Every structure is written in structure tokens, then in C-alpha cells.
Chain A
Amino acid sequence: MQIYLPIAEVSVNIFLILGMGGGIGFLSGLFGVGGGFLMTPLLIFIGIPPAVAVGTEANQIVASSISGVLAHFKRGNVDVKMGIMLLIGGVIGSTFGVWLFTFLKTLGQIDLVIKLSYVIFLGIIGSLMFVESLNAMRRAKKAAPPKHKGHNFLHALPFKVRFRRSKLYISAILPIGVGIVVGILSAIMGVGGGFVMVPAMIYLLGMPTAVVVGTSLFQIIFVTANVTVLQAVNNYAVDVVLALLLLIGGVIGAQFGARAGAKLKGEQLRGLLALMVLGVCIKIALDLTLTPNDLYALGTTGGH
């Protein structure tokens, strides 16, 4: 059954979109990640214009993050103060990111930048995760939590703030800086940025793992909401029909994913996820490097 998307202006199979939402939702429930970094490239593969894929995916992440953060709030795993600091950075970063997106679109380079960002970030994160999970499997059950780093130049930065829930006393510049970087990525790549935010919170800010995911989700809601509005206003790139279909599939998929996740070991899960991330990375890298069928391509036609 085909459905014509009003903003993307393409006709897609309704069950394909529901299935993709379900599949990514399953993974997101399984691995505890947003899944935006897989969904956006998939949407582009099936022929959704890249700009619409990015804008729409941001809208979908708002919903999935809300449903996730409510559960974390109940367990007290959200450091609101830290979240607000990250958020200040996130709003600055995502606003700049959407501006950059619009600028690159006029230069005709937006598709290249989206794809290159994916190759670089998926490549780095996927390799790190894969190595880490292999090491973890080798170490077997001798699991040691990541140790807090000792004092370094990061602790010498001014504007120190106390974060009670995270048990930290660090400079406000750090979370704001992390927020800015993730905000830019979020706008350009159409991702929540959890896969960059979570490692940064653990290794750079030294936050306890328990509050990391909840706090990350908390700020992702606002950053992706900001991206959604800005993409809608600047690029007319949010397709609510597509977002709604992805949501329905995603909600159902996530339930099954969470159940399946309970049966697998953590390091096996991370190893699997790493392989998938690397797979997407290689596919996009091939697109960029293999000779295209036609060297001449239609550019953007200066808005509607």
C-alpha cells in the first residue's frame, strides 16, 4: 500500500516505513540508543530527500526521547542541572547547525557534508565500540567500571559549578561545550546525538553511568525540538506524516527490543551494535567513493 508524503513529495510503501520504524525501534529498545544515526541514512537510501530525512528524524527523536526520559525521571536518573547546562550548549549548537545546513545547501554541498559526517562519526564510534566490546568479552567477567580520570587541564577551567546528582564539581564550560558540539551534529546529521553525548558524558565529564542516559535523553528532547522547528521554518523539511508512521513502528519495535535485550549479554549487544554501525559507515563510504552512474546531477533549485 503506497502513501504519498506531502512534504517529501515521494510515494512510499506504508508497510516499509512502519517496518523500518519497527526495526530501528527494536534496536533502540535492545541497545538503548536513539537510532537516529541508522534511521536517517536508511530514509535517504529509500529515496527520501536528505534534507527531509534529517528534519523528520529530528521530529521523531523528540517523541522517542520523551517516552524514554519519563522512565528515567521516575528512577531519579536525570541530573536536571547538568541537563540544562548541556541544553544551553545544545540550543546554541543546533541553531548554528541549522544555519550551517541552510548555507551548505545553497553551496550544493549539503549531501556531501551529511554523508561525510556519517562516515567519520560512525567509523570512529563503531570501531571504538567494537574494540571495547571485544576486550570486554576477552576479560570475561572481570568487569571493571571506567575509572574517573585524575586531575587534568579540564579541571583548571573557570566557572566551576556543583552538580549534586552527578556528584561533580566542574567548570560550566565543559557541559556547554559538549552541548554545542552535539547540537551541531544533531542539526546536520538528523540524530539525537546520544551516541556522541553518552561517551562524552562518561569519559570527558566523568558523570556516573546511572545518570548519563536519562540526562542525555532529557537534553536531546529540547535540542531535537529546536532542530525540528528551525528545519521546518528554514528548510520546510519536516514531514509529519512520515514522522508519525516512523513513530508508530518505533513504539511497537522498542517494546520487543527491550524484552530481547534482557536475554543478551551487554558486551555481545555492544559488539553487534558496533558491527551494524560499521556496516552503515561502509555503505555510505562506498556511495561517496564509487564512480556515480551520472556525473551530472540536479542541484537544489533555490527553495520552493
Chain B
Amino acid sequence: MTRAFVPMFKRLMVLSALLVSSGFASASQLEVDLSKPDVRLDVSFEGSELLLFGAKQTDGDIIVVVRGPERDTSMRLKERIMGVWVNTDEVIFEKAPTYYALAATKPVEFILPKAVLEREKIGTEHLGLKAITAPDGADEATIQNFRAGLIRNMVRRALYSSKNSPVDIVGKQLFRTNLWFPANVHVGQYAVDTYLVQDGKIQIHNATNLQVHKVGLEAEIFSLAHDHALIYGLLAILIAVVAGWSANAVFKKRG
């Protein structure tokens, strides 16, 4: 946190200095930046905190939405059969984000009308996840239970934020919020959307991207395992053979 904070603070100072010197004349009305351009999953990755900060020229509320790569996601209902909990009904939701974070200067329901929240998919309950596979005769209420289950599961994994975390306003123009990426994040391109809202209307929408990727040894092992699975499997055995052999050699010396 502190390591991330210092360079961020410098950038924040530079940004505000720029804004002041330009006299707000030519600069765009909403500037957004991140304390780091990407999230790197390396050997010591335990989750990562990023700082999103920016400047706005007018009054108004700020909403920040971060979405991870989308993927069709299966949800299963457990039922007790002969005393044992068994997965039974399955609903597959089309293109559910693997990560969803929401931050705003106040609860989003007080900032934007419901129709806009649904259109922009702001808030987990407004994601509008569409079921592409469902058990025969499942009604909307049943699907809604599965949808709520999906969000609950993702919140428990810290991959979705259940309610919006705060966006702090610094002075009049500057704002900042912390984004948490837990250790179980998926790799891929993340969409970062920042909205400036006045009187229930989106005035400015700033869209940017963030890469979450494996680096170094992690990236090499992962791509070998997926792109050359057979070679990877054989290498795993080779490692095991060498390890087993040398373990035996150590035993022999001791014996």
C-alpha cells in the first residue's frame, strides 16, 4: 500500500499541477489514471491493491466500475439425495464478468435512476445476466435464485463487490478510490469505466483498460501447461523421476 502510494501521490501532484497551470482551459473535463498500469501475477502474488485517481472540473458524483473478462458461468443447486448433498439443477449464465468492482461517491441508487443503472450495468443486481441453459420448466423466479447465488458466490470469493466502496473527493477537483484484486483473479483485459454524473444524468464517461496477467515463471509454466500439455506432463514426470532418484541417493548415504 505505502509502496504504491508514494509514486501515486507524485502523479497526483503532477496531475493537479497540470490542471492548475492549464487553467482548466484545454484539458478534458474528466481525467483518470491508475497507480499501476497492470496487475502482475508473479510468484509472490497475494492480491494487489490499485489506486484509481483523477480530476474533474465540475461538481458532480463519480462512479467507477471495473469489469473482468467475461465468461459463460455455470451455477449448480445442491439437493439432499439419500442424506448426501448432490449437485442437481444447472443454470449457465452467458458472459458473466469474472470480476466486478463498484465504487462511487455515494450509493449509486441516489446518483442515477434505475433505468440508467440497468442500461450501463452499474451494480451487481443490474448486471442483467442472461441464462442460456436452464432446467426444463424453470421460471424467472427460479433463474433469479440462481443469479443471486452466482453473485453471492462471487462476493464470497471477493471477486464481486456487493455494495459500492467509497470514492473520496480530495479538495474540489480530485478524487481517488482503492481497487482490490484478490489472489484468485482471472487473467485478461479489465475494463475500467469512470462516470461523472450530474442531476441523474451521465455527463462524461471515461473508458480505459487494465491488464491482469501472469509474469515471469508463472506465465511460462501456465502457457507451457496449456499450449504444450503433453510436453508439460512429460516434464512433470521427469522432475519426479530426478527427485525420486536423488531422494534415494540421500537415503543411501545416510544408511
Contact = CB atoms under 8 A, between A and B. Distances in A.
Nearest to B145: A296
Name the prevailing secondary structure of the A interface residues: helix
Interface in A1-44: 2-4, 6-7, 9-11
A32 to B, nearest CB: 14
Nearest to B45: A4
Contacts of A46: none
Name the prevailing secondary structure of the B interface residues: helix
Contacts of B44: 2-4
Which of B72, B85, B154 is most buried by chain A, counting CB atoms within 10 A of its CB? B85
Nearest to B98: A301
Interface residues of A, number: 54
Contacts of B153: 294, 296-298
B86 A63 contact: no
A61 to B, nearest CB: 8
Contact of B251 (A59, A67, A108, A302): A67
A225 B218 contact: no
Interface string A233-251: 1001010110110010001
A134 interface: no
A301 B71 contact: yes
Interface in B100-152: 145-146, 148-150, 152
A66 B248 contact: yes
Given A108-B90, A298-B73, 13 more contacts: A2-B44, A62-B244, A63-B240, A66-B240, A67-B245, A67-B247, A71-B248, A228-B240, A236-B226, A244-B239, A255-B251, A298-B154, A301-B72
Interface of B: 41-47, 71-80, 83-87, 90, 92, 145-146, 148-150, 152-154, 156, 183-184, 214, 217-219, 221-222, 225-226, 229-230, 232-237, 239-241, 243-245, 247-248, 250-251, 254
